[in-house]
Amino acid sequence: MERTATGSRVYGIRAFALLSSIGLGAGAAALFLQFGAADGYQQVDGVRGALVFITTFWLAWGAMQSVVGLLFAAPAPPLRNDPITARTVILMPVYNEDPAIVFARVAAMDEAIAQLELTDKFDFAILSDTQDPQLAAEEERWFVRLWQDRRQDRRKAEGQPARLFYRRRTRNVGRKAGNIQDFFERSGAQYDFALILDADSLMDAATIAEMVRRMQAAPRLGLLQTLPRVTGAGSRFGRAMQFAAGFYSPVFAQGQAAMQGTTGPFWGHNALVRVRAFAASCALPELSGPPPFGGHILSHDYVEAALLARAGWTVRVDPDLDGSYEEGPENMVDFAKRDRRWCQGNLQHARVFPAPGLKPWSRFVFFQGMLSYIVPLFWLLFLAANLYASATAPEPDFFPEPFQLFPVFPSDQTSKAVGVAVGVFGLLVLPKVLILIDATLRGRVRGFGSTILAARGLVRELFMSSVNAPILLMWQTRAVLQVFGGRDGGWPAQTRGDGRLTFSEAAAAGWWIQIWGAAMVGLTYTFAPELMLWVLPVGVPLLIAPFVIWATSHPSQASVFLTPEEHSLPPIIARHRQVMTRWGKASEAVDRDETAPAAQLSA
C-alpha cells in the first residue's frame, strides 16, 4: 500500500506554516512602522515596512519548516522484507572528476550489494561527460581497474552477465540531465528503477534495497528521495556545514515531507526513480533565447519533480532512510561557485513557472526557490533604506504651534525596533534550540557525542554562520545581479580535495566584499552614526572577509562538530576507504593485456 499523507492533512499543515509566516512578517512590519513613523511618517518608512515584511516572512517560513518537522513528522514506516523482483540500474554521472575516487565508490557499493546476494538485481552505469581527453583516458584506465577488481571478487560466479558499464559522451548536451535522459532513451527499457547518484555519492546497500522494496510496494511512486548526510569534511567551513546537515536537516526534511505530501522534492541525486515514469514525463525542453534565462535548464531536479507530479506520479522524500551520503564544499569560494549555478538555475524557473498543468505546490516551490536568491537584495535594500531614513530624518520640532509655552517631546518607539530585532534573532536561533531539545529527548543527540557536545557544536555553528552570512549574502547578491544582467555562469566542475586556501587566494576572492564593507561602515558613521551598533554585525565580517574566507578553509579539530558518521563510521564509508587503500597499494599501471569486454567499455 502506498504511504502518503491525506490531502486534508497536507493542506492543513501548509496553511498553518504559511499563515504563521505571513502573520509573523506582518507583525514585524507593523512594529517597525510604529518605530519609523515616530518622527513623522515618510514614504521611506513604507518602503522599510514592506522590506521588513518580506525578509521576516522568509525567515519565519524557514523556521516554520522546522516547527512542522517537530510537530507533524510522520512516524517512520517499518522496514520491508519483500523479495526484490525489479531490475535497477545505479547511475553515476561524472564530469571532470578524479576517476580513482569515484570508481572506488562504485566498487564499495558493488561489494556491499554482493554481500546481500542481490547482484543479479542491480547494474552499475558510469555516465561520463568529461571533456578533458587526458582525464577521459584516465577514466577508461580506472574503469578497467574497477572491472578487474570486481571480476576477481566474482570468480565463483563465473558465467554471470556483466554488471558494470562505462560510457562517455563527446558532447555533453543537456549536461547531467541530458546524460541521464540519453541513457534512458538508449538503455532504460531494460530496467524498472534507476538510482541516480552524483560523483560524490555513497549509499549503503541495505538502504538501496529498502528503497527498491518501497517503490515496488507503491505502484504510483515515481521518485523516492533520501536525505543525504554530508561526510568527509575537514575544514572549519566544511565541518560546520556537515554538523548543520546532520543535526538540523533531518527535522527540516520531516517538515518538508509533511507539507509536500505527494508533490515532494528531487535534489538531483541519491534518489530512486521509476524509469518508465521518468522517461515518459521528464524530458526537459531547451528554453528559447540565450543563457542565463534561456538554453538548458540548470536546476533540472526541481523541474523533473514537478513534471512527475503533473503526470500523476507520487514524488516523496523519506527522511527516515539512513545510509545516504554525499560530500560538500570545503571552503566559501567553492560554495559560492556552486551557489552561483544554483542561483542561475533557480531564477531560470521563472520561465518554467507558467507551464500548463503544474500542481500549485510545484509552482510554489519554484517561487520559493527564486525568492531564496532574491531575498538578499531585500536585506541590502533594507540597510540602505535605514541609512537614507536616518540621514534625511527631520529635526524634532518641540514647539509645533505658535506661541506654545510647553515643548512636545516625540514618542520614543525604540522598543519597537528592538522588539523586531529580537524577533528576527529568535527566528534564527529558536528552531535550532528546539531541535537540540528534541534530539536530547529522543536520544538522537548520542550520535553527536552528548548533549553538551551537541550544544557546543550548535553555539559554534551559530557563531560561524552569523559571521559567514554577510559574506555569502554579498556573493548571492552579485550572482543575482549577474543573472539579471545577462551573464551566464555555466556549469563549472566541482572542486574536490581539502579545499585549503592561501591568504592571497582568499584575498583575491574577497577584496571587493571588503570594499563594500568599508563603504557601508563609512557611510553609516558619516550620515547615521546612531545606527552604527546595528550595522557592525554585518559590516565587521565584510571588512575582514579575506581573513574569514582563509581561516574557515583550514582544518578544524576532529572533536569540534562531531557527527554520528564520525562517532561510528558507517560500513559503506569504511568499505570505500578500504577500496582506496587496496587500489593505492596496487600499481597505477593497469594491465592493458586484460581489458574489459567491449560491451562494457564504449565511447
DSSP letters, 272-300, are EEEHHHHHHH-PPPPBSSSTTTSBS-SSH
Question: What digits encode the pLDDT tens for the residues 439-472?
Answer: 999 999 999 999 999 999 999 999 999 999 999 9
Domain assignment present for residue 296? The answer is yes
Domain assignment present for residue 22? The answer is no
Question: What digits encode the pLDDT tens for the residues 558-596?
Answer: 778 999 998 889 999 999 999 999 888 554 444 444 445
What pLDDT is recorded for position 394?
61
What pLDDT is recorded for position 36?
72
Contact 65, 252 (CB under 8 A): yes
What pLDDT is recorded for position 592?
44
What pLDDT is recorded for position 377?
93
What pLDDT is recorded for position 157?
52
What pLDDT is recorded for position 442?
93
Stretches in the chain below the pLDDT threshold 50:
1-2, 159, 161, 587-595, 597-599, 601-603
SS3 87: coil
Domain assignment present for residue 330? The answer is yes
**Number of domains the chain contains:** 1
Q: How many CB atoms lie within 10 A of CB 319?
A: 22
CATH of the domain at 228: 3.90.550.10
Q: Residue 93 carries which DSSP code?
A: E
Say whether the peptide bond before residue 93 is cis (omega within 30 degrees of 0). no
Q: Which amino acid is at 97?
A: E
Alpha helices in 116-248 (DSSP H): 133-153, 175-187, 205-216, 236-247
Q: How many CB atoms lie within 10 A of CB 599?
A: 9
Domain assignment present for residue 326? The answer is yes
HSE value, Cβ hemisphere, 13 Å, CA-based, for 282:
31
Domain assignment present for residue 414? The answer is no
What pLDDT is recorded for position 588?
47
φ and ψ of 469, to 5 deg: -55, -50
φ and ψ of 124, to 5 deg: -115, 135
CA distance 278 to 309: 11
What pLDDT is recorded for position 401?
64
Q: Torsion-angle region of residue 348: left (phi > 0), alpha (psi -120 to 50) or beta?
A: alpha
Domain assignment present for residue 277? The answer is yes
Domain assignment present for residue 287? The answer is yes
Cell of 449: 557525542
What pLDDT is recorded for position 560?
82
What pLDDT is recorded for position 410?
57
DSSP string covering 362-421: HHHHHHHHHHHHHHHHHHHHHHHHHHHHHHHPPPP-S--STT-SS--PPP--HHHHHHHH
Cell of 146: 574497477
Residue span of the structural domain in which 171 resides: 88-355
Domain assignment present for residue 180? The answer is yes
Rounded to two decimals, the pTM is 0.91
